[in-house]
Structure 1
Amino acid sequence: MKRFAAIFLVFGMIISIIAGCSSASSSSTDKKLVIGVDDQFAPMGFRDEKNELVGFDIDYARAAGEKMGYEVVFQPIDWKAKESELSSGRIDLIWNGYTINETRKKQVLFTKPYLKNAQIVVTLTKSNISKLDDLAGKNVGLQALSSAQEALNGSTVKSKIKTVSEYKDNVLALSDLKIGRVDAVVIDEVVAKYYMSKEKDTFKILDESLAPEEYGVGVKKGNEKLLNELQKALDEINKDGTAAKISEKWFGEDKVLK
């Protein structure tokens, strides 16, 4: 009888250990941050030649997630539906060159700004377009439902433009610019400079910009706990030099706002 009791005791202990391991594994898996990204937004977040997600925001998010003790999962989304993806709970954060503005502040919570940017106009180097007024009667491209669209809509030149073509992403817009389907593209400065570094002598930037802006991370309204947790992690990696190293990797200098 004692022998059977001992066997059952050992068996019970094994079951408890297995259950404990399963519970621990489950709890670590639950610590996930699902981040919505536009995977065609170089150099912030894009696919490399191996089809892997890379970029400044990708590295920056991973560093913050590690500091918070979360597993970071990147979810490519339709950028036009980013706020809907966030409010539905399908993603936890919008983090990929996400411009802070008053309209979006009504829909999401924002971290402090971490990078300066501007909406600018790009055209071909051979183009005779040299200033914003030269866009009169021209065909202009931009990413749909982006801050580029808002900047153009708020400008005085919008009414003079012949047509505005909307694209799913900036890569498609720039492709159409190269083959002459549009005369210019309104785009984020950091994105434009990245492509100009890859395709030298193809594009030029007009001296006049449409709107200065800043990037932040979007958090679902009502989730101040996650916002504060994330901001604390960002402050720490900004202070300890991690953010500076990531910035130097992608921009060649420390551009992160402290």
Structure 2
Amino acid sequence: MKKQLLGLFATVSLLAACGNGAGNEVGTDEAVNPGSAEGLKDSYIVGLDDTFAPMSFRDTDGSIVGFDVDLANEIGEMIGAEFTFQPIDWVMKETELNAGNIDLIWNGYSITDERKEKVAFSDAYLDNKQIIVTLADSDIETKADLEGVVVATQQASATLDALYADETGVVEKFDGGEPILYPTFTDVFNDLDSGRSGAIVVDEVLGRYIMKQKGAENYKVLEENFGEEEYGVGMRKEDVQLQEAINNGLAELRENGKYEEIYETWFAE
């Protein structure tokens, strides 16, 4: 009996040693991957609107490129994670995020109080405003001139939120008592170009870029606007470590000059 007990003890000790060895091996792997070591995943899916130039859009080869794409890829390298860019229905962005179909909303995503109730935001990384754009020969000069005018913007956008948050009451005086809505800002600009709408309200970052591509001389930007805001990265509220990693990455990019380099690539003029 004594020999049997000693044999059993030796077997248990051997198994424990093997278990500890396996644990140490996993620990070594985690140390190699910065993401795993920090409790992060090896890959994340970024949800975006692939028509939102210059933040993220498709180039002539069909590849998704842009300011946000470059920024995300740089931070991905820092934290040892790969970002995959997935076009989504922008109306469903928060639903897609909280359902687990995407991990991040990184696409000129304006920080608003309403959105803070649904998602967690990174630190702000780019300023923006909601500008009013007309054709160059339009008689519209002020917000007040929008009374009786067909005004278009993107559905489920921060621009739309800004319109309804405006306290001047001008939105109720639009033709139809409200703006007409389109799935993308590309559609919104097409509506203005065709003459179906007399004015549009868009993110300045996107609006300036599109006007440059189409010919800035064809458009007029009013001095008044519908508010200033900031862009941030949206994520699930429980993803605290991911939020911290992205914030640290944004700070490091500003310190090492890489942020300015990426900015100049897309906003040089």
2: CA distance, partners of 1:238 / 1:37 = 23
Q: 1:176 aligns with which of 191, 216, 227?
A: 191
Q: Residues 33 and 65 of structure 1 are in contact (CA less than 8 Å); yes or no, is this contact kept in structure 2? A: no
Unaligned runs of at least 5 residues, structure 1: 1-19, 254-258
2:54 aligns with 43
2:103 aligns with 92
1: CA distance, partners of 2:239 / 2:68 = 21
2: CA distance, partners of 1:231 / 1:33 = 16
Deviations 1:32-54 (A, max 9, x none): 11101110101111111111111
| Correspondences of 1:127-142 after superposition (within 5 Å) | 127-142=138-153
1: CA distance, partners of 2:172 / 2:148 = 9
Q: 2:202 aligns with which of 187, 195, 198?
A: 187
Deviations 1:136-166 (A, max 9, x none): 0010110001011011112221111113211
TM-superposed deviation, 1:124: 0.5
Cα root mean square deviation, aligned: 1.8
2: CA distance, partners of 1:142 / 1:48 = 24
1: CA distance, partners of 2:192 / 2:82 = 39
Q: Residues 32 and 73 of structure 1 are in contact (CA less than 8 Å); yes or no, is this contact kept in structure 2? A: yes
2:15 aligns with none
1: CA distance, partners of 2:218 / 2:81 = 41
Which amino acid is 1:38 matched to? D
Q: 2:165 aligns with which of 145, 148, 154?
A: 154
2:268 aligns with 252
Q: TM-score, normalised by structure 1?
A: 0.85
| Correspondences of 1:114-133 after superposition (within 5 Å) | 114-133=125-144
TM-superposed deviation, 1:218: 0.4
Deviations 1:94-147 (A, max 9, x none): 000000011111111111110000011111111111111111001011000101
Unaligned runs of at least 5 residues, structure 2: 1-25
Which amino acid is 1:215 matched to? Y
2: CA distance, partners of 1:228 / 1:90 = 21
| Correspondences of 1:40-79 after superposition (within 5 Å) | 40-79=51-90
Specify the SS of the correspondent of 1:137.
coil
Specify the SS of the correspondent of 1:81.
helix
Percent identity, aligned pairs only, is 42
Specify the SS of the correspondent of 2:107.
coil
TM-superposed deviation, 1:170: 0.1
2: CA distance, partners of 1:212 / 1:177 = 23
**Are residue 227 (structure 1) and residue 243 (structure 2) matched?**
yes
Specify the SS of the correspondent of 2:181.
strand
Number of aligned residue pairs: give it: 229
TM-superposed deviation, 1:219: 1.1
Which amino acid is 2:174 matched to? I
Runs ≥4 residues deviating over 4 A: none
Specify the SS of the correspondent of 2:111.
coil
Which amino acid is 1:113 matched to? A
